[in-house]
Amino acid sequence: MNGLVSYARHGEVAVLTLNHPPVNVLAKPLRIALSACLEQAARDPAVRAAVLIGAGKAFCAGAELADFDTDGLDEPSLHATINEQIEAMDKPVVAAIHGSAVGGGLELALSCHYRLCMPDAKLGLPEITLGFFPGAGGTQKLPRAIGLEAALNLILSGRTVPASAWAGTALVSALADGDLLECAVAFALEHAEARPLPRLRDRRVEHPSAQALLQFARRSTAADRRAWPGTALAIDAIERSLADFEAGMRFEIEHFRAQAATEPARALRYGFLARAEARKLAGLAPGAAARPIERALIIGAGLMGTGIAICFAQAGIPVTLTDRDEAGLARGRATIETYCTAQARRIGEAGAMALREHFAFTLDERPWREADVLVEAAFEDFGLKQALLQRMAALAHPAALIASNTSTLDLDALAAGTARPADVVGLHFFSPAQVMPLLEVVRTAHAGDAALATAMALASRLRKTPVVAGVCDGFIGNRILEAYIDQACRLVEEGAWPEQVDAALESWGFAMGPFRMLDLVGNDVPWAARRHRRARGVAERDGIADALCEQGWFGQKTGQGWYRHAEGAKRPQPAPQVHALIEAFAAERGIVRRSVAAQQIVERCLLALINEGARVLGEGIAQRGSDIDVVYVAGYGFPAPKGGPMFQADEMGLVNVLRLLRDQASRAGGDAAQADFWRPAALIDNLAASGGSLRRARALDTQETPA
């Protein structure tokens, strides 16, 4: 064949091997080759059975996502050609599964007569997490394999489960004990004469309270604002499995295609591909390799430092935590012990004990010399961080990675102040570090290729979503956030209340509105950053957020911020004293407050994100437009089914975005700062004129090297 599927004879068994690295996605050329190999096995009189197996690290990871936006899903289709071809064969076909069989890969296996699995192979149908649902038989065959309730839970969650959990069901015919291919060939010969051949499509779905179960699922979905798009249709498709198979398949195929074409599904597929793209480093020298990381040192035992240490320990990397004194170290030790104790409920006492064994606590200097990566997590003070980085550079071994967790300081200047700036990068974790998936890998002007490659490889090992950022005030995420917060505050000054702004943006899809978020983080944090910029001579508007902080209303930690935070209350409450402060602030500045519609709130805040994001990309702070979307979905609560600010700009149309920005600028009146704020980024202007795409725009047109 063409190399994507190999055909070999093992005695009387034909072995068909999917060979499309790294995970054997079912791209159209592979489906063509597979169909031909199946035909060859069917026609060969010397073949009594066939084995379908995957090369490399997985059986099959399903469809090529890029095919959804082209003709790549057309003939030969997975269901109407491949799966029906397998089911129609008069020789048994055994799916030999290792690594994972997910999405279309599992649907391919469900069409085989038998499934022989390695016990740790992961099985699942994660399509719902991409905004649609299985479209090649999954909603019809999985309930026939494991029962209605189990299939409903698996499909609606998008989880993967080890094959060993399904032993004894029709999903897993047997578990392999030994070499998978040898076991599969033997299994195929053992069942070569079995007739009739078992097909999942021929089984019935039995459940004593099927309709009650389905109605419960529908009610739960309707009440959950975080439910994945396409969930309701998925339930409808699964319901069809209770009756005729062919009618169920017609429903599945028709609605699968329609759902996959919706904006939420396109946005979620885009986000999946964007996260993979973000892991690629532009402009690295050929052959740049990551250095090994075996031991880590975290300097600073506060909440951020302990969270970072937990990230390393959970990745199996021994980590030492240090601080400036014994009291600080003791607080860090207590925080980690509390965390490990809480984790015991999830991973068991043995797992918690194993996690504890990855931590060490000391004030000694020796770990500074032995660690392969050193991360400072001290207060946002330039002098303090520079002194720490200088000490790290002086003590660390020559191959060590030296990292700062600064979120606002000039990392170029910090790195330049050390004796080895090529080894210094930023690793900007988000709080709480052990929970938040985003990690900004900050590329200084001095960073060497080896340090960058090491940082990106480390991010993957820590199971983070890494995005490369250049150096500017706030890097990618926080710099763009400043523009978003600025408009939220101005909307409050002009007439909205904080709770109105939050409600509008949360209804649109944000996980948390800007004022609830500020109260959670602490209003004193951005206030300190503003004061720091003013001290450097940067012009900074004196707005309502400063007036709030001058009252000492820092948020949850003080019981009062933009909201009132009563002890034990589930949600914060609107604060009359904040309303009074806002009205007094507006009156002092001659602002006539007005009614502000929810649509205006969403439009202005979204435009602020788009315009500042385009400036960040145009300046080369971000490598790609899609990287900005990854940052905002992974780190700032932007709704994943809406793709991100750059994706939304393209959906709105850049010509329309340009018009809206110019309209906002025209309303600035004599406010020069606001007129400049709304001046369209040059990149938007250029792309609108050329018909380009903001999410596909790149800062550097250079060869990319996978990290």
Active site residues: 107, 127
Name 160's bridge partners. 124
**Which pair of structure tokens corresponds to residue 556?**
């949850």
Contact 610, 645 (CB under 8 A): yes
C-alpha–C-alpha distance, residues 707 and 701, integer Å? 17
323 CB neighbour count, 10 Å cutoff: 24
Q: In whole angstroms, what is the distance from residue 187 CA to residue 13 CA?
A: 10
Please provide residue 326's backbone torsions phi and psi, each rounded to the nearest 5 degrees. Answer: -65, -35
The tokens describing 199, both together, are 């097909």
Total Cβ atoms within 10 A of residue 220: 13
- CB-hemisphere CA count at 13 Å for 206? 3
Q: 103: buried, middle or exposed (CB in 10 Å: 19+, 13-18, 0-12)?
A: buried
User: Are the C-beta atoms of residues 477 and 438 closer than 8 Å to each other?
Assistant: yes
268-302 as b/e: b if 16+ CB within 10 A: bbbbbebbeebbbbbbbeeebebbebebbbbbbbe
Torsion angle of the four alpha carbons 653, 657, 659, 660, in this order, in degrees rounded to the nearest 10: 130
- Are 411 and 428 in contact by the 8 Å Cβ rule? The answer is no
Residues 6+ apart with CB under 8 A from 235: 152, 156, 214, 217, 218, 221
What's the number of CA atoms in the CB half-sphere (13 Å) around residue 446?
Answer: 19
Q: Find out whether 394 and 274 touch, Cβ atoms under 8 Å.
A: no
Beta bridge partners of 96: 53, 116
Among the residues of 240-374, which ranges form H helices?
245-260, 263-278, 303-314, 326-356, 366-370
According to DSSP, the β-strands at 704-706 and 280-282 are antiparallel
564: three-class secondary structure by DSSP: strand
Rg of the chain taking only CA atoms, in angstroms? 28
> Quick check: helix, strand or coil at residue 525?
helix
Candidates 480, 563, 578; CA nearest to 520 is 563
Question: What does the block give as tokens for 498?
Answer: 């904080």
Distance CA 623, CA 643 (A): 17
Buried b (16+ CB within 10 A) or exposed e, 455-494: bbbbbeebebbbbbbbbbbbbbbbbbbbbbbbbbbbbbbb
